[in-house]
Amino acid sequence: MRAARLIRMALLLQSTPGLTAAELAGELGVSERTVIRDVQALQEAGIPVRSERGRAGGYRLAPGHRTRLTTLHPTEAETLYLSGLPSALRDLGLSDAAGTARLKLSATLLPSLRAAAESSARRFHLDAPAWFREPSTPELLPELARALWADRAVEFSYTRPGREPGTARRVEPYGLVLKAGVWYLVGRVPGAAGPAFRTYRADRIAVLDTPVDGVFTRDPSFDLAAYWQEHSARFTLSLLRATVTVRLTPAGARRLPEVTDRAAAGRALAAASPPDAAGRVTLELAVESEEIAFAELASLGADAEVLAPPALRARLARHARAFAALYSGAGPDDEAGPDDGAGPDDGAAGAPDRRPDGGPAGRQR
């Protein structure tokens, strides 16, 4: 473990001279005291690590020295072939470059490492698009990617569904994010109160232009992954504008995260009332709307009883009566047979029993 950390420290000092003890500690996930001990270990091993004081100080290797630690481990070679999504590279116009890079890398690897990398490519495939959605590549995505690589501002109009195209805006592109098959542009927008970061769906961007004076200086402290995680959490919370009161059986409580927002379900279950004599819990669930709550909670059948609001409870009651009426008169093809699993405990409103995975119950094979 320590040997791997020492190798990584040497490579960090080679690629980024002048790192402080605090910066190295952050990169390696250790304390500054451990960094100091590791530097001493590198020096004792013959690697000339120097410590310089002052505002521009830090640790660095002696001038002209380069470590010979760049030989790949088989596991590292395997992960290189998992570092990109083929469809994403194609959308960005980088599939040819990525293919050439993989060929060059394979040519330089030892035969054993080359086999490890190719083995990884045969065993793993990363598929970003969501199910039941035909992925589409925004027409202007490659041009956005080129502006992103060059740190050049772009000007474009942005169209929201049901609205006329907006006025042209100037955005400094900071990142492109692929989420469930949809591309998003994260950019910095100047404003009277200072620049702010905004997120745009790439397929709604039109009439793209790259001004001649568009080169900008990126904020080195911006973390795209951290921004996206925070943005996603805020966006999800902004959608949950209504609250419903629900009483759930143990089975309903287990399945709740499968039918509604997982984070909202987790918060509701954590704050739920203690189970009653039948094991049911009552909770307040944040939902997007009563319309969506109806579709989500109806899928739980008799494992979920809506207590409030009254309008939603009445709608579910009407749905249950209509469902029961649909199946109350069994025809020749619907008569219960001795092996169909029907019985007096099939659940209210004609709702079928469910397996723990959400599928219809039936005989196990």
pLDDT in tens, 299-341: 999 999 999 999 999 999 999 999 999 988 654 455 444 444 4
Predicted pLDDT at 135: 67
pLDDT attached to residue 81: 63
Q: Are 189 and 171 in contact (CB under 8 A)?
A: yes
**CA 358 to mean position of chain CA atoms:** 24
Q: How far apart are CA 5 and CA 362, in angstroms?
A: 54
- Band of the pLDDT at 351, cuts 50, 70, 90? very low
Residue 350: which pLDDT band, with cuts at 50, 70 and 90? Answer: very low
List pLDDT tens digits, range 56-87.
778 988 887 766 655 666 666 666 666 666 66
State the pLDDT at residue 345: 42
Give the mean model confidence (pLDDT) for residues 205-233: 88
Residue 263 has pLDDT above 80, yes or no: yes
pLDDT bin (cut points 50, 70, 90) of residue 127 is: low
Contact 284, 268 (CB under 8 A): yes
Global pTM value = 0.56
Question: Residue 31: its pLDDT value, please?
Answer: 93
Asked if the peptide bond before residue 309 counts as cis, ω within 30 degrees of 0, the response is: yes
Q: What percent of the chain has pLDDT over 90?
A: 39
Q: Where are the alpha helices (DSSP H) in 45-132?
A: 74-80, 86-91, 95-108, 111-123
Q: Are 304 and 252 in contact (CB under 8 A)?
A: yes
Residue that wins the pLDDT comparison between 236 and 224: 224
Q: Per-residue pLDDT averaged across 238-254, rounded?
A: 94
pLDDT band at 342; cut points 50, 70, 90? very low
pLDDT of residue 335: 47
Mean per-residue pLDDT over the chain, rounded: 80
Residue 354: pLDDT band with limits 50, 70, 90: very low
Mean pLDDT lowest among 5-14, 93-102, 171-180, 227-236 = 93-102
**What is the model's pLDDT at position 155?**
93
Task: Dig out the tokens for 170 from the structure.
Answer: 């100037």
The fraction of the chain above a pLDDT of 70, given in percent, is: 72
Give the best-scoring range by mean pLDDT among 43-57, 102-116, 239-253: 239-253
Chain segment 128-184, per-residue pLDDT in tens: 666 766 667 788 999 999 999 899 999 999 887 777 767 788 999 999 988 878 889
> Beta strands of the chain (E only): which ranges?
49-52, 58-61, 154-158, 169-179, 182-189, 196-201, 205-209, 242-248, 281-287, 304-308
On the question of pLDDT at 360 being above 50, the answer is no
